[in-house]
């Protein structure tokens, strides 16, 4: 499915703007922007047809570094701005860049409503479980007990699970990716763009300054095989060295099994169906936690549902076709009028 660069309009680097990138050295954001550029190239996106909308936070400087149309908005509101952009011009490929503070704290309301409406844009959520730009306070995804500058004795609140929140808001596309895997990120972003409706991609992103290695148990090279289950639609849910381990259903619970042990064969392993309407199994995959389970990665849910901007535009077309008015003059002169002659 990967097109060769020869057939592409632009190479990934062609999507970079002339601006100096000012993220901290070693920041996970560099890998994400590379993946996005790679995906754009594979998708053959024309630069002028892309609008990248961001909020506030380290991640939200993203549009300045891309040679597309870009809008660095205000804290928490990029989902609402992106909604206006898409409704105003449905032809644009709209990408929203946001963080765990921007989308899940101050912008939580817009986040869930954008998902609920299923508006057709891609929402890339950089989740580093910390506030970086304000220098290290806990975020709505920080684990309980997390010690930060604003929680010196540890937090006493529970974090959001991004995927569960999205599915609870009727999300139809949810993917989770580590910032250490550019190839997987790019693949998932291509899928996100192809999906009609809101596509949420949660990137487990590393903040090298304020929350270094927070995802390391999942993302570190040596942990990848055993601690990540990379899902592919239609493929069995296998992971581990040599894909020796897999998932199966035991009653209403997921269970990790080893292929070849206790008579287990690959035929016993669950096959991933991202497109099924029911989100029950998707939710179970999202909920899997270390150390009992690997962390589910890739496109976990990719289902069809009515798309907001399409319905919005179609209704206008229907009304245009069936209106009793041909012009605003018709409207102004309709109903009860009276004429005064001199």
Partner 1 sequence: MLLRHVCWQLPPFGRAGVGLIMKTTLESVVIKFAGDSGDGMQLAGTLFTDTTAVMGNAIATFPDFPSEIRAPQGTVAGVSGFQVHFGTSGVHSPGDAPDVLVAMNPAALKANLHNLKPACIILVDVDSFGKKDIEKAGFETNPLEDNTLLDYKVIEGPITSLTKTALADLGLDNKSADRCKNMFTLGMVFWLFSEPLEQTIAFFEQKFKKNPIKGEANIIALKAGYNYALTIEAIKSSFTVLPAKKQAGTYRNITGNQATAWGFLAAAKKAGKPLFLGSYPITPATDIMHELTKHKWAGAKVFQAEDEIAGICSSIGAAFAGNVAITTTSGPGMALKTEAIGLAIMTELPIVIVNVQRGGPSTGLPTKTEQSDLMQAIWGRNGESPIVVISASTPADCFDWAFEATRIALEHMTPVILLTESYLGNGAEPWKIKSLNELPDIKPLTLETKDASWRPYNRDDEKLARKWVIPGTPEMQHRIGGLEKDECSGCVSHNPQNHEIMVNIRKQKVARVANFIPEQRYKGKDAKKLLVVGWGGQFGILFGAVNELQKEGKDIAFTHFNYINPLPKNTAEIFSKFDKILVCELNDGQFANYLRAVLPQFKYEQYNKIQGLPFTVKELKNKFTQLLEEK
Q: Contact residues for partner 1 (CB under 8 A)?
A: 17, 19, 46-51, 53, 56, 63-64, 66-74, 77, 79-89, 91-92, 109-110, 113, 312, 315-316, 319-320, 322-323, 325, 327-329, 331-333, 335-342
Direct distance between the N- and C-terminal alpha carbons of the chain, in angstroms, rounded to an integer: 75
* C-alpha dihedral sign at 27, 1, 285, 172: positive
* Residues linked to residue 176 through DSSP beta bridges, in sequence order: 202, 298
Q: Judged by CB, which is closer to partner 1: 82, or 189?
A: 82
Q: 102 or 191, CB closer to partner 1? A: 102
Return the number of other C-beta atoms located less than 10 Å from residue 334's C-beta: 10
Residue closer to partner 1 by CB (options 262, 336) is 336
Asked whether 273 and 234 are in contact (CB, 8 A), the reply is: yes
CB of 19 to partner 1, least distance (A): 6
Q: With respect to partner 1, which residue has the nearer C-beta, 13 or 235?
A: 13
CB of 89: closest distance to partner 1 in angstroms? 4
CB 100 within 8 A of CB 127: yes
Pairing of strands 238-239, 245-250: antiparallel
Residue 228 to residue 296: CA distance in whole angstroms? 6
Minimum CB–partner distance for residue 247 and partner 1 (Å): 37
For residues 174 and 124, the answer to whether their CB atoms sit within 8 Å is: no
**CB of 13 vs partner 1, minimal distance in Å:** 15
- Rounded Cα distance between 37 and 175, Å, is 18
**Beta carbon nearer to partner 1, 280 or 314:** 314
Q: Are strands 253-258 and 245-250 parallel, antiparallel or unpaired?
A: antiparallel
Is 262 or 342 the residue whose CB approaches partner 1 more closely? 342
Supply the minimum distance, in Å, between the C-beta of residue 151 and partner 1.
26
Q: Which is closer to partner 1, CB of 2 or CB of 14?
A: 14
236: Cα within 13 Å, side-chain hemisphere? 18
Minimal distance in Å, beta carbon 330 to partner 1?
10
Closest CA to 47 of 93, 78, 1: 93
* Shorter beta-carbon distance to partner 1: residue 111 or 138: 111
- Residue 51 CB, shortest distance to partner 1, in Å, is 5
State the nearest-atom distance from the C-beta of 119 to partner 1, in Å: 10
Tell me the chain's radius of gyration from C-alpha atoms: 23
Round to whole Å and give the CA distance between 293 and 316.
Answer: 48
């Amino acid at each position: 499915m990967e097109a060769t660069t020869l057939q592409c309009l632009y190479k990934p680097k062609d999507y970079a703007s002339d601006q100096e990138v000012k993220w901290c050295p070693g920041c996970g954001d560099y890998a994400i922007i590379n993946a996005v550029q790679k995906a754009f190239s594979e998708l053959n996106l024309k630069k002028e047809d892309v609008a990248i909308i961001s909020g506030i936070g380290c991640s939200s400087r993203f549009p300045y570094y891309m040679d597309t149309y870009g809008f660095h908005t205000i804290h928490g509101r990029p989902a609402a701005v992106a909604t206006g952009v898409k409704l105003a011009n449905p032809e644009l490929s709209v990408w929203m860049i946001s963080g765990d503070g921007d989308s899940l704290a101050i912008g939580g309301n817009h986040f869930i409503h954008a998902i609920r409406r299923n508006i057709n844009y891609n929402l890339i959520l950089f989740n580093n479980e910390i506030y970086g730009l304000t220098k290290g306070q806990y975020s709505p995804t920080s684990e309980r007990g997390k010690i930060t500058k604003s929680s010196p004795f540890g937090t006493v609140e529970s974090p959001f699970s991004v995927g569960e929140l999205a599915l609870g808001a009727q999300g139809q596309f949810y993917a989770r990716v580590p910032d250490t895997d550019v190839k997987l990120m790019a693949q998932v972003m291509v899928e996100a763009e192809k999906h009609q409706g809101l596509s949420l991609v949660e990137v487990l992103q590393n903040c090298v300054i304020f929350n270094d290695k927070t995802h390391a148990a999942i993302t570190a090279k040596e942990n990848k095989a055993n601690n990540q289950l990379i899902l592919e639609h239609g493929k069995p849910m296998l992971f581990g060295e040599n894909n020796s381990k897999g998932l199966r259903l035991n009653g209403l619970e997921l269970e990790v099994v080893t292929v070849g042990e206790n008579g287990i064969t690959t035929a016993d392993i669950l096959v991933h169906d991202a497109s099924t309407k029911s989100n029950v199994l998707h939710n179970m995959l999202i909920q899997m936690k270390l150390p009992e389970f690997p962390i589910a990665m890739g496109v976990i849910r990719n289902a069809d549902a009515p798309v907001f901007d399409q319905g919005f535009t179609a209704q206008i077309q229907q009304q245009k076709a069936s209106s009793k008015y041909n012009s605003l003059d018709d409207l102004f002169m309709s109903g009860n009028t009276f004429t005064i002659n001199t």
